[in-house]
Amino acid sequence: MSLFAKLKSRAAAGNSVKVGLIGAGKFGSMYLSQIPRTPGVHLVGLADLSPDRAREALKKVGWAAEQYGAQSWDQARNTGATFITDDADAMIASDHVDIVIDATGSPAAGIHHALLCCKHGKHIIMVNVEADVLAGPYLAKKAAEAGIIYSMASGDQPALIAEMVDWARSTGFEVVCAGKGTKYLPVYHQSTPDTVWGHYGFSDEQVGSGDFNAQMFNSFLDGTKSALEMAAVSNACDLRPPADGLLFPPCGVDDLPHILRPVADGGILSHKGNVEVVSSIERDGRPVFRDLRWGVYVVFEAPTDYVKSCFSQYGLKTDASGRYAAMYKPYHLIGLELGTSVASIACRQEATGATSGFHGDVAATAKRALKAGETLDGEGGYTVYGKVMPAADSLKLGALPIGLAHHVRLKNDVPAGQTVKWADIDIDQTKEAVRVRLEMETMFR
């Protein structure tokens, strides 16, 4: 039975899956827009630090006021309406919620919510890739011990990549490389919230007319978000990141199997089983032909001459040898697709991608020469960007994860382009996120 049929069956039986969403930002709002048209799903609670913002989000995506007018958990359960709260902890503890979605974007909040889900026996969908990369292997272990599902969020690129990797392996192919597209130039690593709009080509009028968060947009541009997403894929799919960070080769969809193959075969990969992000623009700024800026891909290899001939017979774009081929999805719909994760957990008891090991990490890296006494401002800011690397190398270096490079003071100078280390900072080890990360490092070291 399909997921949709299973959801309709639950709706007919009066057994809708009960969901609690934390965070009414862009991702959360996109999911909210789809819930009223999804049978068998009841958004029992919506938690946000600003309940008024949550109400505005619901109004913006087309909900009627009575749909989010519940004044208590019991009223939400009995009427089918949604209860809005600023107390996410209480929502997780509520008996009226089956699945929790963390769409906060805060690493510390994501870790806290995941641990509470373990305590209260609630499945969790981790939209929060920042938290997943900072401590996902630890959280996945705790979730397994608690008997709950810890899942990636469908619609986000890591989950869609994990789905393609699973497809390739389940059909008998070795995955050579998997990843996504983005817009990239080397200079972007030094981008700050002051320069981001120029790189995107947005005018002052455009920025002034919408909800544009400069630091958030800059985290996509400066390579941090790509690094986080590839680390998440690495940890979910048992793939390895490049030793010295992502290469971001300019590459269109027709060239995926040509460029993303091992060096020995004429490509750029140091090894098979890699993650990589391809750029939609050439290094001189020209657009790449048939770019994959919004999409995801997987490159795989023909195991035999017979399969190689099948690639040719069915029109797959391959490299010159005919051995390497690629599948891709040109777009992803972010929160609009999140319902797949909810349905998969509720109806099949399966995650849509899940952390299974600690293979990739993202280290805070100096955007410029940093001086002792400066305060790091984290992802998308003025001081550091995130660089993906093998987890073993990160542990050996004592690298500071990008998820903890927020509001911490440097004790030492750090040259431009160098990794910031634990030894370079003052950090409060009593904070939950710090404690969890250090426990995870001990576990894997």
Domain ranges for the chain, please list them.
3-156, 158-184+223-331, 360-444
Identity at 369, one-letter amino acid code: A
Q: Which residue from 390, 383, 388, 389 is spatially nearest to 406, judged by alpha carbons?
A: 383
Q: What is the CATH number assigned to the segment(s) 360-444?
A: 3.90.1210.10
CATH topology of domain 3-156: Rossmann fold (3.40.50)
Nearest of 442, 230, 233 to residue 357 by alpha carbon: 233
The b-or-e profile of 348-374 (16+ CB within 10 A means b, else e) is eeebbbbbbebbbbbbbbbbeebeeee
Sheet holding 324-329, edge to edge: 274-279, 174-182, 296-301, 324-329
Q: Which residues, listed in sequence order, are joined to residue 414 by a DSSP beta bridge?
A: 370
Quick one: pLDDT at residue 114? 98
Closest C-alpha among 166, 149, 195, 169 to residue 343: 149
**Residue bearing tokens 């996120």:** 433
**Can you give the pLDDT at residue 135?**
98
**C-alpha–C-alpha distance, residues 237 and 177, integer Å:** 11
Indicate the pairing of strand 123-126 with strand 99-102.
Answer: parallel
pLDDT at 445: 85
| Distance of alpha carbon 354 from alpha carbon 344, whole angstroms | 13
Give the number of other CB atoms < 10 A from CB of residue 238: 14
SS3 readout for the chain: CCHHHHHHHHHHCCCCEEEEEECCCHHHHHHHHHHHHCCCEEEEEEECCCHHHHHHHHHHCCCCHHHHCECCHHHHHHHCCCEEECCHHHHHHCCCCCEEEECCCCHHHHHHHHHHHHHHCCEEEECCHHHHHHHHHHHHHHHHHHCCCEEECECEHHHHHHHHHHHHHHCCCEEEEEEEEECCCHHHHHCCCCCHHHHHCCCHHHHHCCCCCHHHHHHHHCCHHHHHHHHHHHHHHCCECCCCCCCCCECEHHHHHHHCCEHHHCCCECCCCEEEEEECECCCCCECCCECCCCEEEEEECCCHHHHHHHHHCCCCECCCCCEEEEEECCCCHHHHCHHHHHHHHHHCCCCCCCCCCCEEEEEEECCCECCCCEEECCCCCCEEEEEEEHHHHHHHCECEHHHCEEEEECCCECCCCECEHHHEECCCCCHHHHHHHHHHHHHC
**Torsion over CA: 208, 21, 228, 429 (sign):** positive
Structure tokens at 86: 């600023």
Per residue of the chain (445 residues), give pLDDT as tens.
Answer: 899 999 999 999 999 999 999 999 999 999 999 999 999 999 999 999 999 999 999 999 999 999 999 999 999 999 999 999 999 999 999 999 999 999 998 999 999 999 999 999 999 999 999 999 999 999 999 999 999 999 999 999 999 999 999 999 999 999 999 999 999 999 999 999 999 988 888 877 777 766 668 898 899 999 999 999 999 999 999 999 999 999 999 999 999 999 999 999 999 999 999 999 999 999 999 999 999 999 999 999 999 999 999 999 999 999 999 999 999 999 999 999 999 999 999 999 999 999 999 999 999 999 999 999 999 999 999 999 999 999 999 999 999 999 999 999 999 999 999 999 999 999 899 999 999 999 999 999 8
Decide if 47 contacts 88 (C-beta within 8 A): yes
Q: What tokens were used for 82? A: 């949604």
| Burial class of residue 148 (count of CB atoms within 10 Å of its CB; 0-12, 13-18, 19+) | buried
pLDDT at residue number 216: 87
Per-residue pLDDT at 211:
61
Q: At what angle do helices 3-12 and 339-348 cross, to 10 degrees?
A: 70
Phi, psi (rounded to 5 degrees) for 411: -95, -20
Locate 433 and state its tokens. 């996120």
- 431 within 8 A of 409, measured Cβ to Cβ: no
Tokens 């431009």: give the residue: 416
- Cβ atoms of 67 and 35 within 8 Å: the answer is no
**pLDDT in the model for residue 209:** 61
Q: Which residues contact 88 (CB under 8 A, 6 or more apart)?
A: 22, 47, 109, 113
- Give long-range contacts, CB 8 A cutoff, 24+ apart: 313-317: 317/253, 317/254, 317/256, 317/257
Q: How far is CA 441 from the centre of its chain?
A: 21
